[in-house]
Amino acid sequence: MEKLEDKYANIDLKKIYEYKDLPDKISGQCDNCGSVKFKSSVGGGKFLRECTNCGMKKNI
């Protein structure tokens, strides 16, 4: 089984992550760049959060 630290080290910005699989390292901050600014959208019963700085996406 892959360690959680390894997942944070190998973040692919083209992939949309699930929050249950990759929870925030620091609550409310981007795991990749540490930014706190996000743009959000809702569709298909999912809440998508995208970092405005680096573009990392996560379904919450």
User: What's residue 19's pLDDT?
Assistant: 94
Q: How far apart are CA 47 and CA 58, in angstroms?
A: 8
Of 47, 41, 42, the closest CA to residue 18 belongs to 47
pLDDT on residue 2 = 58
Give the pLDDT score at 59.
96
Residue 1 confidence (pLDDT): 46
Q: What is the pLDDT of residues 17-52, one digit of tens each?
A: 999 999 999 999 999 999 999 999 998 889 999 999
How many residues in the chain?
A: 60
Write down the pLDDT at residue 44. Answer: 86
pLDDT of res. 54: 95
Which conformational region is residue 55 in: left (phi greater than 0), alpha (psi within -120 to 50 degrees), or beta? left
